[in-house]
Each structure stands twice: as C-alpha cells, then as structure tokens.
Structure 1
Amino acid sequence: MLLVENICKSFGGKEVLKDINFQIGEGEILSLLGPSGCGKTTLLNIILGLTEQSEGQVIYKGEEISHIPMNKRGFNIVFQDFALFPHLTAYENIVYGLKNRNAKVQKKDVQEYIDFLELEPHLHKQINQLSGGQKQRVSIARTLVMQPKILLLDEPLSALDGVIKESIKSRIQQIAQDFGLTIIIVTHDPEEALTISNKVLIINEGKVAQFGTPQQIMAQPADPFIETFILKQLHIKRKNIYRLFGERHA
C-alpha cells in the first residue's frame, strides 16, 4: 500500500535521513522507533507531505506522490499534544474538519466513530473537562471522520499512563483491524512499538538499523545498538519482552 524508497533528507547541508526503505500493507501498523533526534519525525513529515525529501520516492498504491501537496494526499495526523480547540466542545472538535470537505460524510459514519471510541457521554463537554485518554480519543475521532487513507500518530501514548495507555493502544489496534486502516506511529518507546505494531522500523542516526516484525527484531537484533536500545536503555529484561509474545528463550 505504501512504499518508501531511498529517502534522504538534508537540512543546511546536514544529512538527517539516509537511504530509508520500507513498505507496509493495508490494515498494518508500523512503528517508527528510535531515540530522540534520530530522524523519525522528519520521516513522518515526509510521508505526510509536510516536508519534502532531498532524494527518493514515496509511492502510494503504485503512484509516486512526492509532488502531491499535503492537503491532497488524504493522509491525516494525530499530534502528540492532541491539538484540540479549547473553546469548542468535544463534538464540535470531532466534526470541525468536515466543514471544509467537498465530499459529504454521513452522520451515521460520524456516529460510528463516536460509538467505537465510546465518546457519547463526553460529546458536550469542554476540552478542559476531559481526561488525557478522553482527549486522545476525541483527537483520533476527529481524524477518523475525515476518512484518511493512512493515519499517522505522533507519540500517541507518551502523555498517558497505566490503564488509559493500554486502552488507547487497544483502540489503535482495533482501528487497524476493524476499518482496514494503515497506521504509522512515531515513538521512542521500544515496549510500545513492539506490542502495538505489525512491523517496526528502527532508526539510528538517520539510517535504518532494522526493519521487521516485533518477533524478528527480538529474536535477531541486527546490531549492538538495537540490543542496547531495546533491552538496556529502558531496563527491560529480555524474558519479560519475550513473554509479551508468548515465547520462551534461554
């Protein structure tokens, strides 16, 4: 569905991304994983159309789309800080983007997303009356009603804790499965990436360190950086990560 080929990006002569390649299919979740400053947000912005690559191609369903502006690509993003309008209610935030759409979205479709995300009790609340998890669900609903071709999420779980974090993680997986929506997530959290995604692209210093399924990455880390980043940096023990996949390794 989406193919990224040989993407490079430089800012002021400094190379930020070098020879990035990957592909994902319909309904899959891909995590762009790496430490701060590795280039993952720049890559997300290139896919979105917010930033233009220096070299390479972004191909969607067989069409090279690098020349297509962001507002014509049909990809939508949920920002890390939710970016909700504080003077509007939750419902007004959800339907805000529909005002400028030529193609009409049926009211029943909007209601389907509201019901799916269990937002009915909160529709008439002001944004400052919502919890972090509720704000995230409103932000996701606002994006879904625009019927995006690909959903991009920038650190969607970083402001959430505990049960709320697990709930939103489950919702994201359900969205991909139930609506067949391809989702790309930017995260710096290895555990988050490995437990939510079908595929993970690990970036280190602007280059692909490894691309594969969570199971492949855990079973065969490509280099010492991946071993260190995933297992030691966040003090996650190998046996606990393997347990997430129902595997047992000595």
Structure 2
Amino acid sequence: MLKLQNISKQFDGKTVLDDISFKIGSGEIMSLLGPSGSGKTTLLHLILGLTGADRGSIVFSEEDLTHVPMKKRGFNIVFQDYALFPNLSAYDNIVYGLRNKKGTASEQEVKEYIDFLELTPHLNKRIGELSGGQKQRVALARTLVTKPRILLLDEPLSALDGVIKESIKQRIQSIAREFKLTTIIVTHDPEEALTLSDKILIINQGKISQFGSPQQIINQPDNEFVKQFIIKQLLIKRQNIYNLFGEMYAHA
C-alpha cells in the first residue's frame, strides 16, 4: 500500500536521508529503528507530509503523494507526548477532531472505538487523572476516529513500563489487524521493534542498514552495524532490568 522510492532529504546542506526505498502492505506494522539522529523522525515527517523530500517519490495505493499537502494525504500521527488537551475530558479529546470534518467516524463508530480500547470508564476524566497507558489509548482513539489511511506512532511505548507497555503493544497489533490499518512506528528500542512489527527498517546516518522481518534481522543481519546495534541495545536493557531488581532487593 505504501511505497517510498529513492527518498533523500537535506537540512542546511547536511544529508539527513539518503536514497531511502521500501514498501509495506495493508495492515502491516513497520518499525523505523535506529540510534538518535539517524533520520527516523525526519522520515516519519516526510511520510506524514510535515516536510517535503528533496528527491524521490511517496506512493500510497498507486496514488503519488510526493507533493500532496499533509491535510490531503489522510494520514494521522500519535506524537510521543500524546498532545492531549489537559482542560478537556477524555471523551472531548477523542471527538475533538470530528467537528465539521467529512469522512470521519459516526457516533456509533466512535462508541465502537471507545469500547475496543476499553475507555468507557474513563470518558469523563480529565487528562491529568489518567495513567500513562490510559492517555496512550485516548490518543489512539482520537486518531482512529478520524479514519486515517495510515497510522503513524512516534515512540508510542517510551513513557510506559512493564504490563502497561505490553498491553499497548497488543492494542497496536489488534488495531492494525482489526482495521487493516498500515502502521509505522518510530522507536530506538530493538526489543519493541522485534516483538511488535511485521517489518523493520533499520536506519543509520540517514541510510538503510537493513529492511526485513524480525526473523531476518535476528538470524541474518546484513552488516556489523545491525548486529552490534541490536545486541548492544538488548544488553543495555537487560542490564537495566538487573540493576532495577538489585535496587529492589537492596531495599527489601
């Protein structure tokens, strides 16, 4: 459904993305994975339409969107900080974008999204009264009711821990499958990418290091960077877990 061909982008003479090409199908989840400053967020913004490419094309369902403005692409994003309105209730946040906008969810469909994300008990709460996982679900509901053609998520799990993180991962997978919604996720965490995605695009210094399934990334890394990045990040996470348990036992 989505195809990028030879996408390149510069800022102030510096190449941020260099000859990026890939394609993903309907209902697939793809993670953009790489270290800080690798170009992940710039690529996400290019797909969304927040910024334009210097070279290359973006095609969705055989429609060339390369020069189509963001409002007409029909894509939507959940930002890392959720960007919810603290003075509004959870319900008012969810339906905020529906005012006078065609092609969005009906009242019945809004209810179905709310039920799907198990938000009914929290609809009258203000944002400050919600947990991190509840805020993430409200942000997802607010995006889904606009019926996006592609769902973009910027570090959706970075502020969540443990059971809540696993719950949101399952929600994201369910959304992609249930609504056949192509989903693109930016993350710096290999474990998230490997357990959440159908495809992974690993970027380093603006170039593709590898594009493939989680199994291919793990079993057949294309180069030393991919191998070292995956191993290093997983070891860091494991060490952080050991340190956390060590602190817990020390204070027990």
TM-score over 0.5 (shorter chain):
yes
CA distance in 1, matches of 2:151, 2:223: 30
Residue 38 of structure 2 is matched in structure 1 by 38
Residue 217 of structure 1 is matched in structure 2 by 217
Q: Which amino acid aligns with 1:58?
A: I
Pairing of 1:89-238 with structure 2 (within 5 A): 89-103=89-103, 105-235=105-235
Residue 70 of structure 2 is matched in structure 1 by 70
CA distance in 2, matches of 1:156, 1:233: 18
CA distance in 2, matches of 1:90, 1:43: 30
Structure 1 regions of 5+ residues with no counterpart? 238-250
CA distance in 2, matches of 1:126, 1:20: 42
1:20 aligns with 2:34: no
Q: Which amino acid aligns with 1:27?
A: G
Q: Deviations over 1:66-94 (max 9, x none)?
A: 11100110000000000000000000000
Residue 3 of structure 2 is matched in structure 1 by 3
Q: Is the 8 Å Cα contact of residues 189 and 233 (structure 2) preserved in structure 1?
A: no
Q: Deviations over 1:202-244 (max 9, x none)?
A: 000000000000001101001111111101233079xxxxxxx
SS of aligned partner of 1:233? helix
Q: Is the 8 Å Cα contact of residues 230 and 236 (structure 1) preserved in structure 2?
A: no
Q: Is the 8 Å Cα contact of residues 25 and 182 (structure 1) preserved in structure 2?
A: yes
1:84 aligns with 2:84: yes
Aligned length: 238
64-73 or 226-235, larger mean C-alpha shift: 226-235
SS of aligned partner of 1:235? helix
Structure 2 regions of 5+ residues with no counterpart? 238-252
Moved segments of 4+, more than 3 Å: none
CA distance in 2, matches of 1:31, 1:103: 28
Percent of matched pairs sharing the same residue: 67
Q: CA deviation at 1:142?
A: 0.1
Q: Is the 8 Å Cα contact of residues 5 and 56 (structure 2) preserved in structure 1?
A: yes
CA distance in 2, matches of 1:100, 1:71: 14
Q: Which amino acid aligns with 1:177?
A: R
CA distance in 2, matches of 1:92, 1:27: 28
CA distance in 1, matches of 2:108, 2:131: 26
83-92 or 105-114, larger mean C-alpha shift: 105-114
CA distance in 2, matches of 1:66, 1:193: 27
Q: CA deviation at 1:172?
A: 0.2
CA distance in 2, matches of 1:86, 1:236: 35
The TM-score, its normalising length taken from structure 2, stands at: 0.92
Q: CA deviation at 1:63?
A: 1.4
CA distance in 2, matches of 1:216, 1:234: 17
